[in-house]
Amino acid sequence: MNAGVVIARFALRECVRRRVFLIVGVLTLAFLALYGLGTWQVYRTIDEFGTGLAGVEPPTVAGATLVGLAMFATLFLGAVLAVFLTLGVVRGDAERGLLQPVLVRPISRATLLVARFAAAAAVSGAYVAAVALATMILTWAIGGWWPDRVITPLLGLALGVAIIAALSLAGSVALAATANGIAIFMLFGAGLTAGLLGQVGEALSSDTLQDVARVASWALPFEALYQVGLSQLTADTVGFTRLAIDLGPFGGAESASPLLWVWAIVYLALVGAAAFAGFRRRDL
């Protein structure tokens, strides 16, 4: 069996044996239950108010806002999973003496990095896609609203957490596990803040804020991918309903150019190359 597959499978088996997946699964069910309860409450309130606002479809505004909120939470949960699966892969494991017995086997350091990335990206990517899809289904089942696009938001989230996993893996080459975890979450927070600034800038027509957001989206593309997903939820929605969504906490998201997807893949490759260059020179 290919050494990379062996390492990836071993990493996943560790998650199973340490009950990582069990805990994540139970807590995710709790999250979905809470989301379902909130959605039910929102739609019940909408029904009580009626649908009398001129030109605005409250179920659509509520659905888009709720799923947008769920995507935000899902991205955060996926980022937590991606970071915790990768934060100590190199320096952390080397300091604990776990890495050396593996690396004296006839496997390259690049193989180890790729295998650990693949395991983390597959798990966290599948996780965010599944949870986001579950929230969409819940919203449809409770409120009858279904997003205009589904695949693009799910792909955006999955690729976003894959980028976070890659950054965390690259950080693990240079930083101790704790420092790396803190650094990646601070980057994550910085990316989300820049995205929010962009949304505010869009609402206020501020070029400066939009420029900041644009630069941040290229430097930290997971945020831009999330924004693309968000915008695609209501890609076909127009008129006052569109305006009402844009004025909400998850409105104002811009759909990026197709170049973003290309850049995200190139970005992954660049982060991977940087991680390998650092790991190759590292004495263990």
CA distance 62 to 237: 13
In angstroms, give the least distance from the CB of 101 to other proteins.
6
Residues ≥6 apart with Cβ < 8 Å to 28: 77, 127, 131
Binding residue for other proteins (CB under 8 A) from 50, 101, 238, 258? 101
Q: Closest CB to other proteins among 6 and 243? A: 6
- 14 touches other proteins (CB under 8 A): yes
- Give the DSSP letter string of 264-278: HHHHHHHHHHHHHHH
Question: CA 136, CA 270: separation in Å to the nearest integer?
Answer: 33
Stretch of 54-62, 93-101, 134-142, 266-274 lying at the interface with other proteins (CB under 8 A):
93-101
Q: How far is the CB of 260 from other proteins (least distance, A)?
A: 38
> Measured from the CB atom, is 13 or 44 closer to other proteins?
13
- The total of other beta-carbon atoms located within 10 Å of residue 51's CB is 10
User: Which residue in 75, 56, 54, 41 sits closest to 253, CA to CA?
Assistant: 75
Residue 44 makes contact with other proteins by CB under 8 A? no
23 interacts with other proteins by CB under 8 A: no
Residue 120 C-beta: closest distance to other proteins, Å: 17
Q: Between 47 and 95, name the residue whose CB sits nearer to other proteins.
A: 95
3-state helix, strand, coil in the chain (%, to 5): 80, 0, 20
CB closer to other proteins out of 17 and 54: 17
Select from 144, 133, 121, 122 the least CA-distant residue to 46.
144
Residue closer to other proteins (CB basis): 3 or 137: 3
Interface with other proteins (CB under 8 A), residue from 6, 130, 133, 196: 6
In b/e form, how buried is each residue of 191-229, taking b as 16+ CB within 10 angstroms?
bbebbbbbbebbeeeeeebbebbbebbeebbbbbbbbbb
Per CB under 8 A, does 102 bind other proteins?
A: yes
Number of residues that bind other proteins (CB under 8 A): 24
Residues that bind other proteins (CB under 8 A): 1, 3, 6-7, 10, 13-14, 17-18, 96-98, 100-108, 281, 283-284
